[in-house]
């Protein structure tokens, strides 16, 4: 089958549009399917079905083990950053003290030269006088002058005088954050939630995985439904039953435990894959060509 010459012309000094398209240049779009969307009963960290589920005040659900390991790792990282910041502050203080000592030594040398001549006179143990005013390797002044000259020397080709880029470490935040919403999160703010499993009669024969239902209307919970959890008892209801009964009665329909309206926490969900339900259905990556190397870095473009 003949091929079009315009799409296979490779003797040009620049990339044609067809060549850039084959290399993946520009914005690449892909529609997200059902497999790319997190179910409502999956952990936000391990993406597996929830085991001993915990929920944050913003409605993100995690396995108990996953969120505890995450918060513990964050605390260890904060402790390490605090130690590095304290070491940097100590080093800066020592450098400042060293600068002050050198400045005082310079002032004393200038005062000594002003009162005893332009060049300081030094005598060794034998009584002989050094014409240059230095006392050999035992002179403290010579050592300090050489160190200062070496420190101020801009000879970057010398290994001993190679400048080093100082990396300043800012004071880290001591607050742990939610790995999903990036808001401040403490361990005591997490609360357990419990889903009501469907009975054997209501469950479909073809379904192997666990399925959950709303305790009030007995409807099967899916990603198409907005779910609401109570942070007092942890029971999960659908949005319709929450607006119709829970908001008015202020009593849990499962355990009859009273609550206030601020105790209602809407759970975050992944979506369904239909445009009418969720707009975040398209993933986009932008790839640009680097100068001289063919391909450059790939950075994610904002999602639609």
DSSP letters spanning 252-273: -TTT--B--GGGEEEPP----S
pLDDT for res 201? 63
Q: How confident is the model at residue 280 (pLDDT cuts 50, 70, 90)?
A: low
> H or E stretch including 53?
strand 53-55
Q: How confident is the model at residue 64 (pLDDT cuts 50, 70, 90)?
A: very high
pLDDT for res 73? 94
pLDDT of 297 above 50? no
46 vs 280, residue with greater confidence = 46
pLDDT in tens, 132-170: 444 444 444 445 566 666 666 677 677 766 667 777 888
264 vs 164, residue with greater confidence = 264
**Burial category of 228 from C-beta neighbours within 10 Å (exposed 0-12, middle 13-18, buried 19 and up):** buried
pLDDT in tens, 82-119: 999 999 999 999 999 999 999 998 888 888 888 775 55
Residue identified by tokens 């310079």 is: 106
pLDDT for res 2? 53
Domain 31-110+174-193, CATH homologous superfamily name and number: Zinc/RING finger domain, C3HC4 (zinc finger) (3.30.40.10)
57 vs 125, residue with greater confidence = 57
pLDDT for res 168? 81
0.75 surpassed by pTM: no
């Amino acid at each position: 089958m003949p091929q079009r010459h315009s799409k296979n012309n490779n003797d040009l000094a620049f990339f044609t549009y067809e060549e850039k398209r084959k290399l993946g240049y520009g914005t690449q779009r892909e529609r997200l399917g059902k497999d790319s969307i997190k179910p409502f009963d999956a952990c936000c960290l391990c993406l597996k079905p929830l085991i001993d589920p915990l929920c944050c005040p913003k409605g993100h659900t995690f396995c108990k083990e996953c969120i505890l390991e995450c918060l513990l790792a964050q605390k260890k990282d904060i402790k390490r950053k605090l130690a590095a910041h304290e070491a940097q502050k100590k080093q800066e203080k020592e450098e400042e003290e060293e600068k002050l000592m050198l400045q005082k030594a310079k002032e004393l040398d200038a005062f000594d030269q002003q009162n005893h001549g332009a060049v300081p006179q030094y005598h060794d143990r034998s009584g002989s006088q050094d014409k240059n005013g230095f006392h050999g390797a035992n002179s403290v002044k010579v050592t300090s002058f050489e160190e200062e000259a070496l420190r101020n020397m801009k000879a970057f080709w010398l290994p001993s005088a190679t400048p080093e880029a100082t990396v300043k470490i800012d004071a880290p935040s001591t607050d742990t954050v939610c790995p999903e919403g990036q808001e401040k999160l403490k361990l005591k703010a997490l609360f357990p939630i419990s889903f009501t499993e469907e009975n054997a009669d209501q469950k479909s024969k073809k379904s192997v995985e666990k399925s959950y239902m709303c305790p009030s209307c007995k409807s099967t919970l899916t990603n198409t439904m907005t779910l609401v959890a109570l942070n007092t008892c942890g029971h999960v209801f659908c949005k319709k039953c929450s607006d119709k009964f829970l908001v008015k009665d202020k009593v849990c329909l499962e355990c009859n435990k009273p609550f206030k309206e601020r105790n209602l926490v809407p759970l975050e969900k992944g979506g369904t894959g239909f445009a009418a339900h969720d707009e975040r259905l398209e993933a986009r990556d932008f790839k640009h060509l680097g100068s001289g190397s063919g391909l450059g870095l790939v950075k994610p473009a904002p999602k639609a």
